[in-house]
Amino acid sequence: MPKVSVILPVYNSAHYIREAIESVLAQTFTDFEFIIIDDGSTDGTTDILKELTDPRITLINRENRGLVDSLNEGLAFAHGEYVARMDADDIMAPERLAKQVHYLDNNVHIAIVGSWAETIDHNGNKLGLYNYPPVSRKGLRAYILKHNPFIHSTVMFRREVILRVGGYRHYQYIEDYELWTRVIAKYRGANLPEALTKYRIHSNSVTSKHRYRMLLAGILIRLLALRRLVLRF
């Protein structure tokens, strides 16, 4: 069995998908399977994915069902002890998997580890840095009451932990934030203080297109976090 399962949901990402996939296949850590779920793309993405020949890749093509179903389908197919998330328009640093595997192997009390991310534009030009601070269990539990404590496409987590808490649920645009509230209520997490992912910001990204809805939904998640982590009912 592979040590790591990389899960990459894809929907209409023809412009960026090659670079994203190449960054995964070029990892210095090689003991992984690469699960790509094509969620009913209509823009030529499917044709690009059909060209892939790397034996580590499992390609799932099906009708459009949305991100949450794709993520849970990826989890169902995964065999790795750890799962690494990746988005179709982002880029992994070559040593990302190696560093996160090393961290989880040497910190058995940690269930999920993310990292900082370098922000880039649609052409790959550097914009800035998302420097989410690494925090203690106490600090992370306080931070999650106000903000999403992880950049989704940077995280690696213990697969059994995510399955144990019920996987992703249908909270549109903030399915990750809601999941982290369930994880951090019972387990510990951390962020590595270095940019191990290039996070692309462009007009078609979910963050750009649905920022207002995400802000409103975030209020609900913060209330859920308060209930799960503090009030305990």
* Per-residue model confidence as pLDDT tens for the chain (233 residues): 999 999 999 999 999 999 999 999 999 999 999 999 999 999 999 999 999 999 999 999 999 999 999 999 999 999 999 999 999 999 999 999 999 999 999 999 999 999 999 999 999 999 999 997 777 777 788 888 888 999 999 999 999 999 999 999 998 888 999 999 999 999 999 999 999 999 999 766 555 555 556 666 667 677 777 777 776 54
Kind of pairing between the strands at 110-120 and 126-130: antiparallel
Contacts of residue 34, Cβ cutoff 8 Å, sequence gap at least 6: 6, 8, 21, 24, 25, 54, 56, 57, 58
- The Cα-based distances of 75 to 37, 129, 141, 157 in angstroms read 11, 29, 25, 11
Give the helix ranges, DSSP H, for the chain: 17-25, 45-49, 67-77, 96-106, 137-143, 159-164, 175-184, 206-209, 211-226
- Could you tell me how far CA 76 lies from the centroid of its own chain? 16
Quick one: which of 125, 225, 142 has its CA closest to 181?
A: 225
Residue 117, SS3 per DSSP: strand
Q: For residues 226 and 103, what is the distance between their CA atoms, to the nearest angstrom?
A: 28
Give the helix ranges, DSSP H, for 60-148: 67-77, 96-106, 137-143
Q: For residues 115 and 94, what is the distance between their CA atoms, to the nearest angstrom?
A: 14
Q: The whole model's pTM is what?
A: 0.90
Look at residue 230 in the predicted model and tell me its pLDDT: 72
Q: Which two tokens stand for residue 1?
A: 């069995």
Q: For residues 122 and 14, what is the distance between their CA atoms, to the nearest angstrom?
A: 13
CATH numbers and ranges of domains, the chain = 4-231 (3.90.550.10)
